[in-house]
Structure 1
Amino acid sequence: MDMETYSLLRSFADSWGLLAMTAFFVGVVIWVLRPGARREQDDAASIPFRHDDRPAPADRSET
């Protein structure tokens, strides 16, 4: 890779790459904090406790 290509890619990464990563971060934050997200977050948080009404098998090699 010659120095001119490196400089071009480096300047792209410094400016547009940073802008793209910042936009992605802001988008993720907005997605998580949107009004309808509470129900999905509560559902995901309860996944480990969904089958608490019955115990796990004693020996997993039997299943």
Structure 2
Amino acid sequence: MIEKSSVIRIECPVCGHRLMDKGREAYGTVQAKCGKCRRVWTVDLGLDEFNLVSGKAIPRREGAGE
């Protein structure tokens, strides 16, 4: 018997960009980096909780490296 697996889309809580997809039975913690806003998140798959690991880098100002 083949059952249809349902996949849930996990999105970045800041910008809404897709981080990953998970199955309904998935649990545990993973780290994912958003491809759009560059923030790194620890995601608890069982509870759907997000913890920020590192934020977006500070943009360089003109003349900072000179």
Counting strand residues as a fraction of each chain, which structure ranks higher?
2
User: Higher Cα Rg: structure 1 or 2?
Assistant: 1
Regarding TM over 0.5, the answer is no
TM-score of the pair, normalised by structure 2: 0.24
Counting helix residues as a fraction of each chain, which structure ranks higher?
1
Relative contact order, higher structure (CA 8 A, sep 6+): 2
